[in-house]
Structure 1
Amino acid sequence: MNQRSGGCLCGAVRFTLTGEPLSIRICWCRDCQHLSANGSVNVLVPEDTLSIRGTLAEYTKSADSGNRVTREFCPSCGTHLFARSAARPHLRVLRAGNLDEPASIRPQLNIWTASAPAWACMDPALSGVPHQPAPPPESS
């Protein structure tokens, strides 16, 4: 297991991840496209493996999956850092671009491919699903 760290653009929010990701996915849902202007690389982690230093602002809305999703960002620089789904409160989504060493992870799957624009560059080595996949199995 590698400990990973990261933070926002201005450094006001820092985080440490002490467990391995459950899943690493490139999401093409419309919400992620709005947040990143492209597909967003999302790292799904158990909530109890993530420690956060600094203040976060929140925005909650219903996602295309039907779940209420709370997105968390730095109130100073606006960097989008995390997301939580009401359907899976024990998990957190971490935006991979905010890791100090984003090369320490590798995406495994493209999701919401039905929403991807025609110009989307998807790695042909990764499988894809048209909408929301089932959650990864729980770690034991």
Structure 2
Amino acid sequence: MAHQGGCFCGAVRFTIAAEPQGARYCWCRDCQRIASGMATVNVLFPAPSVEYSGPITTIQRVADSGNTVERGFCAKCGSQLYSETVKGPEQPMRVRAGTLDDPEICPPTSIIWGPSAPSWAPFPDGMTVLEAGPGSAEWQRPASDQSKV
């Protein structure tokens, strides 16, 4: 079944020809900045299965993991659409859950970069909190500070 979505203004639409591989919250400092102080909520898909149409602006930046990550935004309204590792270990494309027409397709099951979150960050009860993200030396290590959980 194809999944669809788009940006806030409707100028960008996308179709995904695969099922989600998972979903997670990301509390890295880059995601906090682009999400206005919160985590991003990302649904993971194989990159070749995601097809965008419309005006997209991208920015590349070296992430806390050391990977180079491309982030895509609508060129008209600025809605963040995705992030994708372009230099580093191969990873799924991270589609922002809020841009999916059906954001219920895959609820998050984990939190990455948990220790980077501010003390007031809302962490769902019982959710796995990891110290870092894919490609980093700390990946898959549970966060030592579980006080937010």
TM-score by length of 2: 0.84
How far residue 32 of structure 1 moved from its aligned partner, in angstroms, is: 0.6
How far residue 44 of structure 1 moved from its aligned partner, in angstroms, is: 1.6
RMSD, matched Cα: 1.8
In the alignment, structure 2 segments of 5+ residues that lack a partner are 140-149
In 1, are the aligned partners of 2:22 and 2:44 still within 8 Å (CA)? yes
Residue 122 to residue 79, structure 1, CA distance change in 2 (3 Å): same
1:1-140 aligned within 5 A = 2-37=1-36, 38-85=38-85, 86-88=87-89, 91-133=92-134
Percent identical residues: 40
How far residue 90 of structure 1 moved from its aligned partner, in angstroms, is: 6.2
In 1, are the aligned partners of 2:65 and 2:134 still within 8 Å (CA)? no
Identify the residue that residue 147 of structure 2 maps to in structure 1: none
Once structures 1 and 2 are overlaid, which stretch shifts more, 85-94 or 47-56?
A: 85-94
Q: Aligned residues, how many?
A: 135
How far residue 133 of structure 1 moved from its aligned partner, in angstroms, is: 4.0
Could you list the per-position Cα deviations for residues 20-67 of structure 1 after superposition, in whole angstroms to 9, with x for gaps in the alignment?
122201000011111112011111210121111112111111110111
Identify the residue that residue 144 of structure 2 maps to in structure 1: none
TM-score by length of 1: 0.89
Separation in 2, partners of 1:87, 1:10: 32
Residue 12 to residue 89, structure 1, CA distance change in 2 (3 Å): farther
In the alignment, structure 1 segments of 5+ residues that lack a partner are 136-140
Separation in 1, partners of 2:89, 2:19: 18
Could you list the per-position Cα deviations for residues 69-118 of structure 1 after superposition, in whole angstroms to 9, with x for gaps in the alignment?
11111110001101111224563110001111112221010110010110
Residue 57 to residue 89, structure 1, CA distance change in 2 (3 Å): farther
Letter in structure 1 aligned against 2:21 = L
